[in-house]
Each structure stands twice: as structure tokens, then as C-alpha cells.
Amino acid sequence: MNAISSDKGLVSVVIPGYKNEFIGEAIDSVLTQTYHNVEIIVVDDGSPNQLKSTLKEYIETGKIRYIHQKNQKMAAARNNGIEHAKGNFIAFLDDDDLWEPEKLELQINLFDNPAIGLVYTFAEGFKDGKNLPIPNFEISHQGKIFGEIFLADFIPNSSVIVRRTCFDKVGLFKATPDFFGVDDCDMWTRITYSYDASCVPKKLTKIRLHKGQFSSDKSIMYENDLNARRKLINDLEIPKVYQKQYFARVYFEIAFNLRKTAKFKAFSFYMKSIQASFSKTTFFAILKLLVN
């Protein structure tokens, strides 16, 4: 694929930096993009791993802009990057993920439609040299997708490009502890409440899978997801049908996660799920829990 004209606008790529083991690979996957009108901003989130030393060559050759902050987690680092960005578009990449070379090129053309505020791509996982599917990151929705993203997270953070002006309307990422791990989905939900979205249905984003990822702690994720959705319900006019579907799903997932370790709590959450919206699946899950 030949590199296209870069007159579509500058893309600012924000990389929150903490780990130093793979960040060079992440940066290189941006530098090899077929779309060239790009700036790379690495926000060192108070890394104890001598990250600046790791990035010395990239800094000295002007390949990246380096910003240091005290450790405040990824949402705050993304916000810092946005505030320093010069681009018309902001793209996000975690420090251990990768992009396929044509990712930005295929996404940037979709912003010719002025209604589009966000463009994402499919993603796949990789570990030990093997590609691994992530089914919920292979879902394509186009246009007004607020209802879909409110109900379930299917947009990979490292795949997203946002039109810069969206942040003027919806604000920055929520950087408080009760949003850790879900601040990205919360942001996409807020953006799609006001703007259309588009998807490039190709696996252009590669998610590195490893132990210690925040998303692996399901109990914290569920609690923070509930916090985020309740805040959205308070702040926006969310149709009741979406609210019922969301609470039915998340309470079911919490119950299912607890069914083997905390049977009474699992029963309580199954009941909350069925009260939010009756489901045969939930009903039979309750029966199975009671007889086992």
C-alpha cells in the first residue's frame, strides 16, 4: 500500500508510558505507518523503570515528544498527552500494544464525514508469538452507536482515533480511582452520545496479553464499570430500556463470576439481574445455583 497524502491533518499519537520492556516496539509500529503526518507523544507516568533512558534515542532524534508526570495512572497520562497535542486528531496506543502499518491510513479517510467523531478498528491478542482472538474486539458498529457501547465494551483502546474537537465538548478522561480500567469505555460512550462513530473491520490493532493487566481483575472492573455507568445515567438522558439491559447484563456477569466462590452473593446478583430485566438464561442460572 502506498503512503497517501498527509494533508488530511496531523494525528497526535498519545502513548502513556510506564513499562519499558515493549514500548520501543509500540513506537516503531507508529513510525512505520503508511500515513506520515504524525506526532508521537510519550507521557512517562512516573515510571520506576528508567523509561527516559530507554527512550533516549527516540527523544534525541526528535522521533517522539517526551513528557514526565508523577504516577497518576493511564487516564491522567492520556489527558496530559491530549493537552500537549498539536494534532487535529488524537490516537491512543498503550505502551505494549502494536499497530499494523496501514492502520492510520485506513482510519483517517473516514473522518472526511464531518459527523464522525471516533473511528476504531478490530483487534486481536498476541502472546508468545501466537495471535489469539478477542471476540468482543471484533464487533463493527457504524453511525449512532451510543446504545451499543453503553451496553457493552467492544472498542479496543489502542485502536481509537478521536477528532480533537470532541474533547472540547465531552471533556477529558475520568482519572479518579473509581474509573480505573473503564475510563476508556466511559470516554467512547460519552463521545458517541454526541457524535457518530465508524469502524474499520480489520484486525489492525494488536493487544499484548500478559499477566498483571488491570483488566484481569474482574471484581474491580465490575465495580468500576457500575460506577461509570451510574455517573452517565446521572449526567445524560439514557433511555430506560438501555439502563435495564445494562444492569441485567452486568449483574448476571457478577453473579456468574461469584457462583463458585460466594454462592449467596451470586444468588443476590442473579436476583438483581432478573429484576432489572427478566431472562430465561438468568432464571435457569438461579435454578442451577440452588440445586448445586
Q: Which helix (H) or strand (E) holds 42?
A: strand 38-45
- Report which of 289, 288, 136 is spatially closest to residue 215, judged by C-alpha positions: 136
pLDDT digits (tens, 9 = 90+) for 195-231: 999 999 999 999 999 765 544 457 788 889 998 999 9
pTM of the entire predicted model: 0.90
Domains and CATH numbers, the chain: 11-216 (3.90.550.10), 239-291 (no CATH)
pLDDT digits (tens, 9 = 90+) for 27-40: 999 999 999 999 99
Beta-strand relationship, 116-127 and 130-133: antiparallel
Over residues 44-58, the mean pLDDT reads 92
200 touches 122 (CB < 8 A): yes
Over residues 55-65, the mean pLDDT reads 96
